[in-house]
A and B are shown apart, each in its own frame.
Chain A
Amino acid sequence: MTEFPFQIKVAGAPQQATLRFASRSELLRYHRSLSPFARKSSATIREAVEFTRLAAKRWRYYSRSGEAAENFAELQREIRRNPKSEVAFIVVATIRQAGRDLPVGLAYCRRTWCHHLALDFLAVHPRALDRSWRVSGVGSGIAFGLVRLANALNIPRIWGEATVNSATFYESLLAVSSVQDLFIIEAAEMAAIVKRQEKTSDPVLATKTATELH
C-alpha cells in the first residue's frame, strides 16, 4: 500500500498516474524540476512554483525535528509509537513517459493528533499547467489518492482551509454548494470520489484501476 494509482488525461488520451510518498531525494528532484518555470509570465505557474518550494521548505523544517514521514511505513510506525502525534508528509503524483517518472503534482498533508488528514498544499506541477501539454485531472486525482490513503489508515476525515480560489474546486469535487472557510471530506464524500474515479469512459483503465485498488 505504498502507491495509489489514478487516472488523468494527457493530450486527450487517458493515462494512469501514481501518487506516492515523497522521499527527501524525490522532493529534491521535484524542486529542481521547477527552475525552468520560475520566471514564466503566468501568475498561476509562478504560484505553483512558489507554493511547491514553500511546501518543501516546510517539510524539511519538520523533518529536522522528526515530525515528517518519507513513506507509508514510517507514517504508520510514528502513529503506532505515539497515537497523538502530528506528522507531516508530501505525496507526489507522477506519470510514466519514455521510461521516466515525470512529476505532475503534489500535496502537503498532516496527519493530525486526532487522526484526521489536513491538506495544506495542493498544487499541480507547472509543466502540467502548460496548455501545450494538455494534462487534465491531476488535482482531483490527487484528492482520490488521498482518500485511498485515508482509507488505508482508517482516517475518517480529510479537511483543509478553502480560499476564494479553491472553494469552487472543492464544491465540484464534493458535489456540495457553498464551501466557505473549510472543506471536509468524510465517509460519504470519500465513497463518491472513489466511485467517480472507477466509473470512467475508458473501460480498460477502469478495470485496471479498480483491480489495483482493491
Chain B
Amino acid sequence: MTVKRTKPMTLEELWDFEDKHPVVFASPRALAEARLIAELNRVKRGRRRGRSNITVHRASRKLATA
C-alpha cells in the first residue's frame, strides 16, 4: 500500500483542527468488546443481587417458622 503524503500541519494548525473536530474516538472492535464486558458485568451484578435476595428471603422465612 502506498501512502500519499500531504503538507504537514504546524502544531497551531493542528490545535485549530482539534477545536473544530473533537477528539473522541474508539476503535469499533474495541468498543464492541467493551460494551460486551459492561453487559456481562451488569448481568453478573443482577445475578448476585438476585441470589442475595433469595438468601434474605429464606432467612426471614426460617425466622418466621422458628
Q: Are A121 and B25 in contact (CB under 8 A)?
A: yes
Tell me if A139 is interfacial: C-beta within 8 Å of chain B.
yes
Partner of A57, one of B26, B28, B34: B34
Q: Size range of the interface on A?
A: 35 or more
Q: Are B23 and A138 in contact (CB under 8 A)?
A: yes
Compute the total of residue contacts between A and B using a CB distance below 8 Å: 126
Q: Which chain A residues have a beta carbon within 8 Å of chain B's beta carbons? A: 7-9, 44, 47-48, 51, 53-55, 57-58, 61, 105, 108, 118-124, 129, 136-140, 142, 160-161, 163, 165-166, 168-169, 171-173, 175-178, 192, 196-197, 199-201
In the complex, besides A123-B24, A176-B6, A200-B11, 6 extra interface pairs with C-beta distance below 8 angstroms are A47-B24, A54-B26, A58-B30, A163-B28, A166-B25, A172-B17
Q: Are A169 and B31 in contact (CB under 8 A)?
A: no
Partner of A55, one of B17, B19, B34: B34
Q: For B18, give the chain A residue with the smallest CB separation.
A: A139
Number of interface residues of B (CB under 8 A): 33
The CA-CA distance from A199 to B21 in the complex, in Å, is: 23
Residues of chain B with a CB closer than 8 A to A175's CB:
5-9
Residues of chain B with a CB closer than 8 A to A124's CB:
22-24
Partner of A137, one of B15, B27, B29, B31: B15
The CA-CA distance from A196 to B17 in the complex, in Å, is: 15
A-B contact pairs, 16 of them (CB 8 A): A48-B22, A55-B26, A121-B27, A121-B30, A121-B31, A122-B23, A123-B23, A124-B23, A124-B24, A129-B22, A137-B11, A140-B14, A160-B27, A172-B14, A173-B14, A200-B11
